Chains A and B, each alone.
Chain A
Amino acid sequence: MATKKNKRIGERSPVLYFILPALILVGLVLIYPIIYAVGISFFNWPLVDESSRGFIGISNYVRIFQDKEFWHALFLQLGFIFIAIPIELIMGFFVALLLNREFKGVNLIRSLLLLPVFVLPVLSGLTWRLMLQPEYGAISFLLNTLGIPQTAWLANPGTAYAAVIIQDIWRMWPFMFMFIYSGLINIPSSLIEAADLDGAKFWDKVIKIIIPLLRPTITTALLLRLIDALRIFSEVFVMTGGGPSNATTLLSLYIHKQAFRYFNVGYASAMGVILIVISLIIANFLVRRNMDSGS
């Protein structure tokens, strides 16, 4: 009966009716640009003087390997990822444990904690820039009253890099918190209470019960954060502009600089393609997990 109905309506045409608009649009603004990017990555393509444009094969990719600035950007990017994300995870985890109980106002605290995650990245970067100004910034002022001398935090390579990381931790640990908290409330409280009765100590409980049960949640959160951290741009761009002297030029900022300041779109695209490949490898794990558990 059902098949007959379906035949009459026609299985094929409704599929197209529903999926074609998305396919066309995604093809236009996503697939075609990716092909385009791969294409120009094989060209010497200066935006300012397009007459000197020419096919150069894989030279741009070879150039990446010899480009000290690229390796520096990659190094900064990896440092950023490996410092910021673990701290965000640990803070999020413990605050989730702390707030996984009921008291007056806990709901309000939980939702207010989330606000930074949704603050405009541009505004976040600029706010930190303001707070770190040596003469009149609020953080500089507070540190000064604690006896730390006034410093131009964002003018010094080391402190500027640290500031960029702290800005990200501030913004994104609540993301980890909320993710882990949502996993935590799905753990039957009887499990945790049973451990309590057994006299299990706090750390035993965390290591033997909570972490194993939360593993899928934590993995998903980490993968999501990893992909996001890999392409961070706006916050850093407005906060430091990549400076001082490239100290905060993360991958996206370096690509942006090559493309829109030096106008080497061919070379910038080659780096962009590599970034796409890395992102897709990580995303592949995430999507597979999702599709497996979905079906």
Chain B
Amino acid sequence: MKKKKLKMYLIIFISIIILIVELFPIAIIIMNSFKKDIDIWSANPFSFKPTLDSYKKVFQRKDVMLGLRNSLIVSILSTSFSLVVGAMASYALSRFKFRYRKALSYSFLISRMIPQISLSIPLFMMFRSLGLTDTLIALIFAHMSFNIPYVIWVLLPFFSSVPIEYEEAALVDGCNRKKVFWKIFIPLVGPGLVVATVFTFMMSWNEFLYALVLTSSNAKTAPVVINGFMGQYAPLWGQLAAAGTIMLIPVFVITLAFQRYLIGGMGGGVKG
């Protein structure tokens, strides 16, 4: 019995060590956000006097504020559009019988895996010829290229698992398909919608490549602005860390709040 208790303490000890090592880089970035740039370049990286200096500077920077605003707009709008459109498509794919239904589901699912770098070139050329370079509209559309397939990917199993009797009853009662969808299905697939919302939002919020390729100044999102802090000669680590920490707040709040949905979301509806 004593041996068992000892083993338990050992397990707890190892777990805590793993956790400390794993969270070390995050701690570093948060710690550096409370330092001045000049203090980061000198001396012991672990000794410092906390200051809000970098945050003050970051909040005064127009480019950071614009970047955060753009990130929010792009994330919220592309998430909303993708959710509506993706949920409707999932409903059709799970409930109607029509030709090419299977092929269509397959295409939607597989299209989630197309590498962004391959799409970035044609998207860049398309938006350039449409005169949409460096606009938020271009970014919102570009984000939908990964968000819509993702939403369908997540929601399809949720829609398929709704018992068919539910809608039969409603259809007999005289509801039409649109009403069935909005009034009956949407509430029933609620958990799926939560997963889809959380993940599409985070994918957009974290996205970098499209923002790098498709924007130059007006439509820059926060990740691109943060990368700009590296500068040519002297990186502004303090401000970079402060802006980065601000970007992390929604991510961590979402991660911890929706913890129990995360596994389903990471697999993206894939059954393990």
List A residues at the B interface (Cβ < 8 Å).
1-2, 5-6, 9, 11-12, 14-15, 17-19, 21-23, 25-26, 28-30, 32-34, 36-37, 40, 95, 98-99, 101, 103, 105-106, 109, 111-124, 126-128, 130-131, 135-138, 141, 170, 174-175, 178-179, 181-183, 216-217, 220-221, 224, 227, 230-231, 233-234, 237-238, 251-252, 255-256, 259-260, 265, 268-269, 272-273, 275-276, 279-280, 282-284, 286-287, 289-291, 293-294
Contact = CB atoms under 8 A, between A and B. Distances in A.
B224 to A, nearest CB: 8
Contacts of A291: 102, 105-106, 109
B226 to A, nearest CB: 6
14 contacts: A2-B171, A19-B89, A23-B89, A33-B119, A99-B15, A112-B23, A115-B26, A116-B22, A118-B251, A123-B226, A224-B270, A265-B121, A293-B271, A294-B160
Given A120-B251, A135-B41, A179-B266, A29 B205 contact: no
Nearest to A231: B115
Interface in B103-137: 104-106, 108-126
A281 to B, nearest CB: 10
A293 B109 CA distance: 14
B163 interface: no
Contacts of B112: 283
A174 B149 CA distance: 24
B108 A98 contact: no
Q: Is the interface on chain B under 10, 10 to 19, 20 to 34, or 35 or more residues?
A: 35 or more
Nearest to A218: B272
A121 B160 contact: no
Contact of B125 (A40, A98, A127, A130): A40
Contacts of A282: 113
B68 interface: no
Contact of A111 (B98, B120, B205, B259): B259
Contact of A283 (B14, B86, B110, B213): B110
B196 interface: no
A255 B120 CA distance: 10
A280 B113 contact: yes
A280 B15 CA distance: 38
B89 A21 contact: yes
A136 B45 contact: yes
Given A101-B11, A120-B247, A131-B28, 8 more contacts: A2-B172, A17-B177, A30-B149, A109-B19, A112-B19, A252-B115, A279-B113, A283-B113
A294 B206 contact: no
B97 to A, nearest CB: 8
A291 B196 CA distance: 19
A34 B114 contact: yes
A170 B18 CA distance: 11
A106 to B, nearest CB: 7
Q: Pick the most buried of B116, B209, B268: most chain A CB atoms within 10 A of its CB.
A: B209
Given A14-B177, A120-B223, A238-B227, A29 B145 contact: yes
B272 A221 contact: yes
Contact of B122 (A36, A111, A260): A36
Contact of B262 (A40, A95, A178, A234): A178
> Residue among A11, A30, A230, A272 with the most chain B CB within 10 A?
A30
Interface string B71-86: 0000000000100111
A174 B22 contact: yes
A121 B43 CA distance: 28
A189 to B, nearest CB: 17
A210 to B, nearest CB: 14
B223 A178 contact: no
A211 B24 CA distance: 31
- Which one of A6, A111, A120, A135 has the greatest number of beta carbons of chain B within 10 Å? A120
Nearest to A178: B263
Contact of B117 (A19, A32, A105, A256): A256
Given A15-B98, A18-B88, A18-B92, A182 B272 contact: yes
Interface string B213-255: 1000000000100110010000101001100100110011011
B267 interface: yes
Given A111-B255, A136-B42, A294 B156 contact: yes
A238 B228 CA distance: 10
A279 B119 CA distance: 13
A255 B263 contact: no
B8 A17 contact: no
A18 B91 contact: yes
